[in-house]
Structure 1
Amino acid sequence: MAEFVCKFGTPAGEIQQRVYVADSENALRTQMEQQGYYIFGIQRRLEIGNLFKNALTIQRKKINDKEFLIFNQELASLIHSGLPLLRCLELLKERTDNKEFSVILEDVYSQVKSGNSLSDAFSAHPDVFPAVYTASILSGEKSGTLEQVIRRYLSYVRIVLAIRTKVVSSMIYPSLLLLLSFAVIGLLVGYVIPKFSEFYTGIAKDLPWITLLILHISLFFKGNVVLILGSIVLSIVIVKIYLKSSENARKSFDKFKLKIPYLGNLWTKFSISQLMRTLHTLLAGGIPVVNAIDVAAGAVGNKVLAEQLSTVSQRVKEGEPLWSSLQKTGLMTKMAVEMVKVGEETGSLEEMLKNISDFYDEEIETNLTNVLSIVEPAMLIIMGFVIASVLLAMYYPLFTIITTIK
């Protein structure tokens, strides 16, 4: 059985909208028509528990993060000014330059105009409006604090984007070093070493083994460069398609990431921070704990943790404390479990969840800085060693020949 929002016309000519419980949409439609009602539309009522499924249907983003932030800032401001919700949506859909988003807002406007709630209208587009956002809107509608809920979600998104920006910024310099390394090695292998090959053609038997090895590798790469690059690109594409199409493959890959020495610890902390911040946002918006866990599972990037959260939700539903349920997953740190326990016992769970996410955000930044402080000089040393080895292997026979001639 499920709840459906039905908009219908009565035999007396009145238009009404009510919520009914039925086995299916077709069954409710048949029942209403038999009673003489004219059906304008039937839509399944939004249930927070179903948002987890919606979150997994996301395929591609039709609006970037900046546009989404601006949309919500303007929506909150318009609501604060006292304008009716329909007028707010009308103004927003008229001013957006994104054609795809404009079409979506047109549909949202039409649904709200026909009597559906804003959360129902947003939930019809899970590829644009995340499950956490839709659940927050639903709680705001029920509590009459829609503006506050939107502003709270904006704060949540800004923090997440700030963390992501810091991580990306930290990786720019190492990425440039890696790119430069490949460029230099490519120049040596594709141009410099083949020139030496032509020079050493007649004395190949007298060359050191390291020189011969580098010459053969260089000639192999030069003769098969298209095949090698094509194979690399094809392999990357196949792996990406496989990870997207197979849930088990994605879960195995996420499990592998958690086991990588040192970096696995960073991944774990990031997943915990993401989970705690999402739970804090949902609980602060008035979402019940069990439903908040279900929605948060869809927002957490790690599939291993997301799968474990389904068991956490079930245990909490059966009356077990949240801290104990999280501890049994084996993925939570001792500190995170202890802080959740204190939050539950003192009635300050929301604040504790925020403190956990803030703590791990700072720790991730510190750990990442420490890793990069080691990786950057290590990459320079490795790059210098490789280039020096190649040049020495190429020039050593030349020096030997010159010495012999003298």
Structure 2
Amino acid sequence: MPKFRYKVIDEAGNIIEQEGNYPSEDVLLAELSKGGYYLVRIEKLEKEEKEKKAEDRKGFNLTFPFGGSVSDRDISIFCRQLGTMVNAGLSLVDALSIIADQTPNKRLASASKDIAAKISEGMGVSDAMQKHPNVFPEFVINLVKVGEETGNLDVSLIKAADYYEKIAMIKSKIKSASFYPTFVVVVATAIVSGILYFLVPTFAQIYSSLGGELPLPTQILISASNTLRNSLPAVIISIAIFSLVFRYFYRNNYSFRKGVHKLSLRIPKMNDLVVKSTMAKLARTMATLFSAGVALERAFEIAGQVTGNLIIKEAVEQAKKGVIEGEPMYRALDKTGLFPKLVIAMIKVGEDTGRLDDMLETIARFYEDEFDKAVDGMIKLIEPMLIVFIGGVVGLILIALYMPIFKMGELIKT
């Protein structure tokens, strides 16, 4: 029997939140109506649990086993094209058919064709999009639904396009910030490994033929080379196994992924990037949803999902409960202890003046600029540090290799 969670207000004005098993939602509604309760919210827990498990498996990625992935930029282009054609007076079926023929993404093209077919059969756009949860995020579906209800579908689609352009820019910045140091470290590791595997053994043979005792740095270097040559398959297998195990647990274990996200908030410099990028995404998401007229509770749910960090997501869910119970948004967020004081203060001003969506837009722009500056600063800091580190490692190897040459007379036995 399905399990439901519901929140009601009794005749005395008391708020009651309970869970229970009922044959159907209609039966539950009938019983609440007989009891004189005013329904605030009702949700089916079995469906919620399935959605959480599906989200846990996805690991917050729009990836697919076949047909490629649907990126934020793909969604942005789709929404902008559809919104522009609808605004120009083209029918939804014709617009979606054109997009399906033009888009290079096979998964998105296939979904567009299917949506066009369902609309021609009488189904709504948002309902048709819901049939493709792996292609269209809930954010887009909710904006489209609001656009259908208000008669401003083109406006909602353009809002979605602008939003995903901003999100794609943030993610692109994150990738660019991580690409350079990762590339340098990989290349440096390959060079050092090549020296240890191919060059050092040649010097070791020369020195062994001369006899004598080698300097300690040279002995350590030759030992490291021998270890690498003798254990190279084991090292490669160990690295591959570690990577696969880490990836498996990160994708499938909620607690493990939460631990990784918690660690990212504690590492110096990295936590600054995580917080600023998350605040930018969170504020832009809520600003877009509020301005489009999406319900407060739903806006909080979607905003929590796009953060990409489980610690902050749980904080958003905690704040959502406080807001539903009547707390001001700024106070509910402040209680979590994770949101910067600047965000809390600006949200308070937005609530007091009745311009919360405008204030959230301001927060989003501020943190997007701050994130750009933080990324540029991080790259400028990492670049000289990596050069010094790699130069130092290579320099020590060369010194250890050539030290015996400086003592060649002592090594050659008469």
User: TM-score range, shorter-chain basis?
Assistant: 0.7 to 0.9
Contact conserved, 1:119 with 1:138, CA < 8 A, in 2? Answer: yes
Please list, as runs of the form range in 1=range in 2, the aligned pairs for 1:80-159 lying within 5 A after superposition.
Answer: 80-159=87-166
Please list, as runs of the form range in 1=range in 2, the aligned pairs for 1:203-352 lying within 5 A after superposition.
Answer: 206-352=213-359
1:364 paired with 2:371, answer yes
Mean Cα deviation higher: 288-297 or 92-101: 92-101
Cα offsets for 1:25-50 (capped at 9, x unmatched): 9xxxxxxxxxxxxxxxxxxxxxxx97
Contact conserved, 1:52 with 1:131, CA < 8 A, in 2? Answer: no
Letter of the 1:104 partner, please give it.
Answer: A
Contact conserved, 2:170 with 2:277, CA < 8 A, in 1? Answer: no
Shift of 1:151: 0.6
1:60 paired with 2:63, answer yes
Mean Cα deviation higher: 216-225 or 102-111: 102-111
Residues 1:52 and 1:137: Cα distance change in structure 2 (over 3 Å): farther
Aligned-partner SS, 2:265: helix
Find 2:79's aligned residue among 72, 83, 100: 72
Shift of 1:262: 2.3
**Count of residue pairs brought into register by the alignment:** 365
Mean Cα deviation higher: 97-106 or 112-121: 97-106
Letter of the 1:175 partner, please give it.
Answer: T
Structure 2 partner of 1:42: none
Shift of 1:403: 6.6
Aligned-partner SS, 1:368: helix
Letter of the 1:302 partner, please give it.
Answer: N
Shift of 1:278: 0.5
Shift of 1:338: 0.5
Tell me how far apart the structure 2 counterparts of residues 341 and 263 of structure 1 sit (CA, whole Å): 28
Shift of 1:300: 1.5
Residues 1:66 and 1:370: Cα distance change in structure 2 (over 3 Å): closer
Residues 1:235 and 1:305: Cα distance change in structure 2 (over 3 Å): same
Find 1:166's aligned residue among 163, 167, 173: 173
Cα offsets for 1:298-350 (capped at 9, x unmatched): 22200111122222111111110000011111110011111111111011111
Contact conserved, 1:53 with 1:298, CA < 8 A, in 2? Answer: no
Contact conserved, 2:75 with 2:161, CA < 8 A, in 1? Answer: no
Please list, as runs of the form range in 1=range in 2, the aligned pairs for 1:364-403 lying within 5 A after superposition.
Answer: 364-402=371-409
Shift of 1:198: 1.1
Shift of 1:204: 6.7
Find 2:199's aligned residue among 176, 192, 195: 192
Shift of 1:172: 4.0
Tell me how far apart the structure 1 counterparts of residues 349 and 76 of structure 2 sit (CA, whole Å): 34
Residues 1:210 and 1:221: Cα distance change in structure 2 (over 3 Å): same
Mean Cα deviation higher: 98-107 or 259-268: 98-107
Residues 1:356 and 1:204: Cα distance change in structure 2 (over 3 Å): farther
Output the aligned Cα RMSD.
2.7
Residues 1:293 and 1:52: Cα distance change in structure 2 (over 3 Å): farther
Cα offsets for 1:174-231 (capped at 9, x unmatched): 3343233123212211111111111122567611222111101111111221221121
Tell me how far apart the structure 2 counterparts of residues 68 and 263 of structure 1 sit (CA, whole Å): 28
Tell me how far apart the structure 1 counterparts of residues 359 and 199 of structure 2 sit (CA, whole Å): 60
Structure 1 partner of 2:33: none
TM-score (norm 1): 0.83
Contact conserved, 1:136 with 1:287, CA < 8 A, in 2? Answer: yes
Contact conserved, 2:75 with 2:164, CA < 8 A, in 1? Answer: no
Aligned-partner SS, 1:224: helix
Cα offsets for 1:347-379 (capped at 9, x unmatched): 111111111111111112212222222211111
Q: Give the unaligned 5+ runs of structure 2.
A: 4-22, 27-46
Contact conserved, 1:257 with 1:264, CA < 8 A, in 2? Answer: yes
Shift of 1:101: 2.8
Aligned-partner SS, 1:206: coil
Tell me how far apart the structure 2 counterparts of residues 404 and 252 of structure 1 sit (CA, whole Å): 54
Tell me how far apart the structure 2 counterparts of residues 190 and 404 of structure 1 sit (CA, whole Å): 24
Shift of 1:116: 2.3
Tell me how far apart the structure 2 counterparts of residues 160 and 97 of structure 1 sit (CA, whole Å): 21
Q: Give the unaligned 5+ runs of structure 1.
A: 3-21, 26-48
Residues 1:67 and 1:364: Cα distance change in structure 2 (over 3 Å): closer
Letter of the 2:303 partner, please give it.
Answer: A
Tell me how far apart the structure 2 counterparts of residues 140 and 50 of structure 1 sit (CA, whole Å): 25
Contact conserved, 1:131 with 1:299, CA < 8 A, in 2? Answer: no
Tell me how far apart the structure 1 counterparts of residues 51 and 192 of structure 2 sit (CA, whole Å): 47
Aligned-partner SS, 1:191: helix
Tell me how far apart the structure 2 counterparts of residues 335 and 98 of structure 1 sit (CA, whole Å): 40
TM-score (norm 2): 0.81
Residues 1:278 and 1:50: Cα distance change in structure 2 (over 3 Å): farther
Residues 1:368 and 1:307: Cα distance change in structure 2 (over 3 Å): same
Mean Cα deviation higher: 176-185 or 328-337: 176-185
% identity of equivalent residues: 26
Letter of the 2:266 partner, please give it.
Answer: K
Structure 2 partner of 1:23: 24
Aligned-partner SS, 1:200: helix
